[in-house]
Amino acid sequence: MKQVSTHQLANWLDATLQVHRFKDYCPNGLQVEGKTSIRHIITGVTASQALLEAAVARNADAVLVHHGWFWKNENPCIRGPKRKRLALALHHDLNVFAYHLPLDAHVSLGNNAQLARVLGFTPDRDSDGAPMTCGPDGVVWLGRCDPPMMLQELGDSICNSLQRRPLVVGNTQQRIARIAWCTGGAQGMFEAAVTAGVDAYLTGEASEPTFHLARETGTAFIGAGHHATERYGVQALGAAIAHEFGVKVEFIDVDNPI
């Protein structure tokens, strides 16, 4: 089986995802250093205890996730669940790679690009192929629902694609053609999508005010799951790694209803 050095992989990932372009809430890249060479990588949405245990059980050398560790506003002390996760990674020499905003935003491998592929949305792109976006830092993608459909049908289609019933707020008979989306917990970007003039906005999670904004603006809202909408970027990235370096890459879906 082929292998890649940890540092070569880290450099390739940082360059591919253009980490230097982002101001983020967590460090992007190799968060915990393990073995110096890698043959087998487990990918997942979150570096939870369950994912780490699955990686150890499979004798993996690295985990690669969208939600890593060391978030800006969290208590930095290594206690409780955090200690358990870190101890497991260190004990087994497991490398932990995490890419947050750079993995949301990548033009082809990113969560927004991959969710569009899965749900049949066509992103608007400029003449250079860059996605047309709105919202702070351009995190919300704009595009079309192909073909346009009633909100009710769109909800059913999303349920089929993600294997999870989305939260749908709006007139179920409304025709949805223009759509904006941002994977994960981007309910705070709903207003930017409304301003952009779309028929519907899709993200992972909702908050109490989300309902009123949808009602009062006539812009439909779809909450399709934080975890459910962020499963695809890391899988596309894993496939790109396997193609580039010939190492074994396996995605493990640790289910999460939120």
**Nearer to Zn ion by C-beta: 96 or 247?**
96
> Does 7 count as an annotated binding residue?
no
Q: Which stretch binds Zn ion (CB under 5 A): 22-30, 153-161, 179-187, 216-224?
A: 179-187
All residues at 6 or more sequence positions from 172 whose CB lies less than 8 Å from its CB, including other chains: 150, 151, 152, 155
Q: How far is the CB of 73 from Zn ion (least distance, A)?
A: 15
CB-based contact 201:219 (threshold 8 Å) = yes
Give one DSSP letter per residue of 42-61, joined into a string. EEEEE--HHHHHHHHHTT-S
Minimum Å gap between C-beta 175 and Zn ion is 30
**Pairwise CA distance, residues 119 & 162, whole Å:** 8
Closest by CA to 65, choosing from 28, 23, 120, is: 28
Q: Is 184 in the site for Zn ion (CB under 5 A)?
A: yes
Q: Which single residue brings its beta carbon nearest to Zn ion? A: 184
Radius of gyration of the chain (CA): 19
Whether 20 has a binding-site annotation, put simply, is no
Q: How many residues bind Zn ion (CB under 5 A)?
A: 1
Nearer to Zn ion, 6 or 114 (CB): 114
Contact between 225 and Zn ion (CB under 5 A)? no
* Among 122-130, 137-145, 149-157, 184-192, the segment contacting Zn ion (CB under 5 A): 184-192
Residues lying near Zn ion in the complex (CB under 5 A):
184
